[in-house]
Amino acid sequence: MALIKVNNLSKCFRIYPSRRHKLASLFGIDSHSIQKWTLKNITFSIDPGESVAIIGRNGSGKSTLLKIICQTLHPTEGEIIVNGRIGALLELGIGFHEELSGRENVYISGQLLGMSRHEIEIRMEEIINFSELSEYIDIPLKKYSSGMQMRLAFSVATALRPAILIVDEALSVGDAYFQHKCFDRIKQFQKSGTSLLFVSHDPLAIKTLCERAILIDKGIMLADDHPAAILDYYNALIARAENNKISIDEGVRSGSGEAKLTAVDIFNENEPAQVVLSGSKIKLRVSYKVIKKIPDLTIGFLIKDRVGNEVFGSNTYVLQKTPPFVQGGQYQVIFELPDFRLAAGSYNISVALHSSYHHLSNNYDWWDHAATITVISEQIFAGVVRLDTQYCELI
């Protein structure tokens, strides 16, 4: 039985031009409101022990969806079924009162999450210890920094292992040390069978914690797939200009079209290569044509492992090189990697034509999975890349 089942879920908000019009609507007079559909026909389910990321641009409806799941908002259409206790860390400050002390807010927030006062009292010391706020627990919350509030909120939300843990961006305000601490607790819960619903813009965290991802844009569910594929699609969404088109037929491609990638090839010892030995010298040849006059051009590449983790990337802007970009011309540039010391495995290479430092600025053509290469290794080592290591014995 699914822990969360969402069927044709839609949410509409009414926007009024003034408070007077909103007040009139309470008496059945509603001729000036505008309907804003934040979510439209969302359908998915989450099984016990499954970890799912919700991905989308700001304003896509992610937070609204989580609030409906947590029953702090009601859907306009459709239904949602939740089987199990939810532990939720939504927008920072929800359920907190700034005039009350940290301890008093623990009681309020805990009860909102479904814990009894007795359960909170039993776990109060554990909550305080995990948050590491013992010196501040009895002072008003208004004197807490956003990071301190996040510590307290997470500690309360995870005081009891929930059947479903929902986390919405709030971890991003914490310091790196406490983020690691939070992720460790989340992983412990996952091992014990807790399902995770996670909203974040951090691709590494998504790929580390989740085996599945859902992409939402403008309130519509676009895709449901493994995180690496969804993140590629998401990157194309945020990179495109207003008239760009996205294709998922040959990897994700997006771009305005002023310049176009035509081929991406890998060479080893001047021969086309699909398999190379770790430590080999390889060349990445990028072929492209310039369709329209452009002010400048940057060519970049990004290497990812088989699960989508970014391994290495560079571009002509960083290398302080200016590739040719005369209108109507067809060109080739070669990136040389003289010591390709990656671990054994399969890697894919994405290539982009853009201006400035990154592909979000004047994206002309962004081609994900443009080429694939397999690395074999004669040496045993852990991790993604082999570093020179020397043994020094002290006497």
pTM over 0.85: no
Over residues 161-181, the mean pLDDT reads: 79
Distances (CA, A) of 246 to 128, 220, 250, 256, 302: 48, 16, 11, 10, 19
The string of pLDDT tens digits covering residues 310-324 is 899 999 999 999 888
In angstroms, the first-to-last Cα distance of the chain is: 63
Number of domains forming the structure of the chain: 1
Report whether pLDDT(263) > 60.
Answer: yes
Over residues 66-74, the mean pLDDT reads: 88
144 belongs to a structural domain: no
- Phi and psi at 4, nearest 5°, equal -130, 130
- Split at pLDDT 50, 70, 90, the class of 251 is low
Contacts of 58 (CB under 8 A, 6+ apart): none
330 belongs to a structural domain: yes
- Phi and psi at 296, nearest 5°, equal -160, 175
The rounded distance, in Å, linking the Cα atoms of 162 and 342 is: 40
Q: Residue 323 sits in a domain of what CATH number?
A: 2.70.50.60
Which pLDDT value is given to residue 236?
A: 72
15 belongs to a structural domain: no
Over residues 289-317, the mean pLDDT reads: 88
> Does residue 285 contact residue 262 with C-beta atoms inside 8 Å?
no
369 belongs to a structural domain: yes
- Residue 143 CB neighbour total at 10 angstroms: 11
Distances (CA, A) of 337 to 262, 264, 378, 389: 21, 15, 19, 20
- Residue 243 CB neighbour total at 10 angstroms: 7
93 belongs to a structural domain: no
The rounded distance, in Å, linking the Cα atoms of 57 and 64 is: 13
Which pLDDT value is given to residue 90?
A: 75
Contacts of 107 (CB under 8 A, 6+ apart): 117, 120
The rounded distance, in Å, linking the Cα atoms of 307 and 226 is: 9
* SS3 labels along the chain: CCCEEEEEEEEEEEECCCHHHHHHHCCCCCCCCEEEEEEEEEEEEECCCCEEEEECCCCCCHHHHHHHHCCCCCCCEEEEEECCCEEEECCCCCCCCCCCEHHHHHHHHHHHCCCCHHHHHHHHHHHHHHHCCCCCCCCEHHHCCHHHHHHHHHHHHCCCCCCEEEEECHHHHCCHHHHHHHHHHHHHHHHCCCEEEEECCCHHHHHHHCCEEEEEECCEEEEEECHHHHHHHHHHHHHCCCCCCCECECECEECCCCEEEEEEEEEECCEECCEEECCEEEEEEEEEEECCCCCCCEEEEEEEECCCCEEEEEECCCCCCCCCCCCCCEEEEEEEEEEECECCEEEEEEEEEECCCCCCCCCCEEEEEEEEEEEECCCCCCCCECCCCCCCCCC
Question: Residues for the chain: how many in total?
Answer: 395
The string of pLDDT tens digits covering residues 324-370 is 888 888 999 999 999 999 988 889 899 999 987 765 567 889 898 88
Choose between 182 and 288: higher pLDDT. 288
Over residues 295-319, the mean pLDDT reads: 88
**Which residues on adjacent β-strands are paired with residue 220?**
217
Q: Residue 351 sits in which domain range?
A: 255-376
Structure tokens at 97: 């009162």
The string of pLDDT tens digits covering residues 114-148 is 888 999 999 999 999 999 999 999 999 999 988 89
Structure tokens at 278: 């770790």
305 belongs to a structural domain: yes
Report whether pLDDT(85) > 60.
Answer: yes
Q: How many CA atoms lie within 13 A of 182 on its CB side?
A: 27
Over residues 25-33, the mean pLDDT reads: 67
> Does residue 336 contact residue 378 with C-beta atoms inside 8 Å?
no
- Split at pLDDT 50, 70, 90, the class of 39 is very high
Report whether pLDDT(266) > 90.
Answer: yes
Token pair 């813009």 in the structure block, residue: 201
When the pLDDT of each residue in the chain is averaged and rounded to a whole number, the result is 85
- Split at pLDDT 50, 70, 90, the class of 239 is low
The rounded distance, in Å, linking the Cα atoms of 53 and 168 is: 10
- Percent of the chain scoring above 70 in pLDDT: 89
Which pLDDT value is given to residue 147?
A: 86
Which pLDDT value is given to residue 94?
A: 64
Report whether pLDDT(176) > 70.
Answer: yes
Structure tokens at 178: 């406490």
Which pLDDT value is given to residue 21?
A: 67
229 belongs to a structural domain: no
Token pair 């641009």 in the structure block, residue: 57
298 belongs to a structural domain: yes
